[in-house]
Amino acid sequence: MGINIYTNCILSSFPLYLPHLIVSRDGGRLYSHFNLDIIFGANTRTPSLDAIELVMDIQKNIPLKDLTTFKIGGIARFFCRVTSEDELLEAIGFSKKEKIPFFVLGGGSNILVSDKGFSGIVIKMEMKGVSYSEDGISTLVTAYAGENWDSLVDEVVEKGLYGIENLSAIPGTVGGSIVQNIGAYGVEVRDVVESVYVLDVKDDEYKTFTRAECKFGYRDSIFKSDKDRYVIISATYRLSHRENIHSEYKDIKNYFFHNRNKKITLKNIREAVIEIRKAKFPDLAIHGTAGSFFKNPIVTTDKARTLLEMYPEMVTYPINQKHVKIPLAWILDNVCHVKGLRKGNAGPYKNQALVVVNYGGSQAVDVIALAQDMVDMVYEKTGIEIEPEVEYIA
């Protein structure tokens, strides 16, 4: 039989959604196998009339704009919230059975949803919980994907653990931190990732990825490039008890220069980053935004040299001997002069041109048109092809 949609139903014996686990080892890695076709196939039992409440509540036609920080987007054909692995299996099984795509939504902070919405099922990740394990001079911190990212940062800083304090005040969830390989002020999350526990939808397996297997890149990972295959369940970060402060970034240096009475400590770094971001980024209670809309371009040293001849005040950050990173906000401000640019009611933020803002009532088509104008302007002035950091969901 097919998968039915129930809302607050009382059932006698609901369908057998718990997986039959088979533990095996392949190449030194432990797998837990399950078969979604069995779970949701012909062997699924028919509900009857004893008092057992069905866990999953799949809703129809749910507006998405209020579930994203951009405050833009159409309707999800189907929608559910998952708080456990069993509920996640049920949601993925529904997607497979109905032959519809799925999208896992975290904090909604780095996406732009189409005005037409999403024709499949949106799975709101709400698995939560944090655990700590001592490992010599380090602590392994494991957090479920639905945990609020900044709440986790605050918690570990209070415990005196170093490693992610520079990533304070970034909206989103733990799962999003991994997918996006979030970074700020000289630090990326991949610097501290120990492992990531996922559901492999294609192979119907739980898997644990090492840092190397995550294939992290600049605002990228295997979970972003292969998003229809992997669903992140939890991540483990290796944080240090030893002082390991990153204060070399220009904005952080300036903050402590202007606040000479403050020592450069773990807690003060977090406080500095929060203040810096507050000055640069809009208040989400007032304006919708997905944060930095574009990636900072990475160019060859030869290309950077040519640009520096044209724009001597441009700042560059070495990546390796052959490549440097250029702060796109500087180009948008000083070369393209994009402030004041508008498409509908979407435009660059007054304090940070890299941030595209919904000033009220904007649609996705407005943001896309604005972004295209910015792409064209940068290419015309510099020859650099810039890429969006924000993911478009359609």
Catalytic residue set: 219, 292, 389
Task: State the burial class of residue 7 (Cβ atoms within 10 Å of its Cβ: 0-12, 13-18, 19+).
Answer: exposed
d(CA 53, CA 58): 14
Of the candidates 329, 327, 311, the one whose C-alpha atom is nearest the C-alpha of residue 319 is 327
Q: 42, 85 in Cβ contact below 8 A? A: no
Could you give the CA distance from residue 156 to residue 150 in angstroms, rounded to a whole number? Answer: 10
257 in Cβ contact with 228 (< 8 Å): no
Beta bridge partners of 112: 392
Pairwise CA distance, residues 343 & 235, whole Å: 39
Longest Cα–Cα distance in the chain: 78
315 vs 299: CA distance, rounded Å:
13
DSSP string, 338-383: -TT--BTTEEEETTEEEEEEE-SS--HHHHHHHHHHHHHHHHHHH-
Phi–psi pair at 65, nearest 5 degrees: -60, -35
CA distance 358 to 73: 12
